[in-house]
């Protein structure tokens, strides 16, 4: 039973946790190429603190947690944290967002630690384009995806941010790749989050355009995926493959938002596109009781804003996606 309800009547039962703001890639829409201004380790919530905050959320009815970042797999001992979080009473679904560059080494341990669902970023199937977008090696990511399949993760969702003139010519190839490897494919519209996100909106594509393009090549029928997220799904007829469209810009889904985000330094953000937040780390380190922690969370949720304003005020969100947790 979700006890966390905001002032617009939305039940909040999903927390995304940025376990690190660091990353081994530099996706053009997420982090500037030369960016190194990361939080220092003493500013990060430690595993005990993360567990404590999420245990409080779980007592308040949160059933679903996603580990994200930055790149979660660059945080040491992530499977240990996953094990602790999946064991929390009330937590039914622990998932991970990753760029998969280190997944081949960690897939089995993460699966054993209780992570069941994976989202993997993959913006191109061409090694040169992949390097141009991310600065990294495509081969490592493909190895990671195959290791995840072997380790038994289901579903595995591929996240692609289509960008005009960069990778938009690859959307059909990506559908074929996902059919071949039985992966769910999701397209995401570029959001003006942080400087990198704002610059990347120059190549923004409204996903209705991508949908029309795909409809000329594939028969798309209404599809459903479990997960309660913002994606609207279509299934490729004759296959089990679903394609999701995440449209924060062209058709926002704030009325059904069910989530909040815990940043790497323990700040609770109640909207990806607004600055409303409560700094939990100083409270944790000052000895807040469990009861006070729960009250603080309930009060923060009551202040959750109605919606983002990416279209009206694209300059608003200065913080990087990796800090808040994408």
Residues of this chain that bind ligand SF4 (CB under 6 A): 23, 25-27, 30-31, 69-71, 99, 121, 134, 322
* Distance between start and end Cα atoms, the chain: 26
DSSP lists the bridge partners of residue 293 as: none
Q: Which of ligand SF4, ligand SAM, none lies near 31, with the C-beta cut-off 5 to 8 A by kind?
A: ligand SF4
Q: Answer for the pair 304, 12: CB distance below 8 angstroms, yes or no.
A: yes
Minimum separation from the CB atom of position 247 to ligand SF4 (A)? 18
Looking up tokens 């072997």, which residue turns up?
Answer: 150
| Site membership for ligand SAM, residue 29 (CB under 6 A) | yes
Residue 306 contacts by C-beta under 8 Å, 6 or more apart in sequence? 8, 254
CB-wise, 55 or 110, nearer to ligand SF4?
Answer: 110
Q: Which of ligand SF4, ligand SAM, none lies near 26, with the C-beta cut-off 5 to 8 A by kind?
A: ligand SF4
- Distance, in Å, from the CA atom of 227 to the CA atom of 231, rounded to the nearest integer, reads 9
| Site membership for ligand SAM, residue 30 (CB under 6 A) | yes
Q: Residues 202-231 vs ligand SAM: string with x where CB under 6 A?
A: ------------------------------
CB-wise, 30 or 113, nearer to ligand SF4?
Answer: 30
Select the span of 42-50, 146-154, 166-174, 188-196 touching ligand SAM (CB under 6 A).
188-196
Tokens representing 286 are: 């000052």
Select the span of 23-31, 212-220, 236-244, 280-288 touching ligand SAM (CB under 6 A).
23-31
Q: Closest residue to ligand SAM, Cβ-based?
A: 326
Residue 106 contacts by C-beta under 8 Å, 6 or more apart in sequence? 73, 78, 79
Among 4, 12, 147, 161, binds ligand SAM (CB under 6 A): 161
Among 6, 13, 21, 71, binds ligand SAM (CB under 6 A): 71
Q: Answer for the pair 106, 79: CB distance below 8 angstroms, yes or no.
A: yes
Question: What is the enclosing helix (H) or strand (E) of 78?
Answer: helix 78-86
Summary count for the chain: helices (H), strands (E): 11, 12
């Amino acid at each position: 039973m979700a006890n966390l309800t905001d002032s617009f009547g939305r039940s909040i039962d999903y927390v995304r946790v940025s376990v690190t703001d660091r990353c081994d890639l530099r996706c053009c829409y997420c982090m500037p190429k030369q960016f190194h201004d990361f939080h220092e380790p003493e500013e990060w919530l430690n595993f005990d603190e993360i567990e404590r905050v999420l245990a409080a959320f779980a007592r308040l009815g949160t059933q679903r947690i996603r580990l994200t970042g930055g790149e979660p797999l660059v945080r040491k001992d992530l499977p240990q944290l996953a094990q602790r979080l999946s064991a929390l009473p009330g937590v039914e679904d622990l998932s991970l967002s990753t760029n998969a560059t280190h997944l081949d080494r960690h897939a089995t341990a993460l699966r054993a630690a209780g992570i069941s669902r994976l989202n993997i970023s993959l913006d191109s199937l061409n090694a040169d384009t992949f390097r141009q977008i991310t600065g990294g090696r495509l081969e490592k990511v493909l190895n990671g995806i195959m290791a995840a399949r072997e380790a038994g993760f289901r579903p595995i969702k591929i996240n692609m941010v289509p960008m005009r003139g960069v990778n938009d010519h690859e959307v059909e190839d990506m559908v074929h790749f996902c059919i071949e490897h039985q992966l769910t494919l999701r397209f995401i519209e570029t959001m003006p989050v942080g400087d990198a996100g704002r610059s990347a909106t120059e190549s923004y594509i409204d996903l209705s355009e991508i949908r029309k393009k795909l409809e000329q090549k594939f028969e798309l029928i209404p599809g459903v995926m479990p997960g309660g997220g913002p994606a609207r799904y279509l299934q490729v007829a004759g296959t089990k493959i679903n394609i999701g469209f995440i449209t924060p810009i062209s058709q926002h889904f704030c009325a059904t938002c069910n989530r909040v985000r815990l940043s790497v330094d323990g700040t609770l953000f109640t909207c990806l596109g607004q600055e409303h937040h409560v700094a939990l780390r100083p409270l944790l380190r000052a000895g807040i009781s469990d009861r006070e922690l729960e009250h603080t969370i309930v009060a923060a949720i009551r202040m959750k804003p109605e919606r983002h304003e990416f279209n009206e005020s694209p300059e608003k969100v200065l913080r990087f996606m990796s800090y808040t947790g994408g």
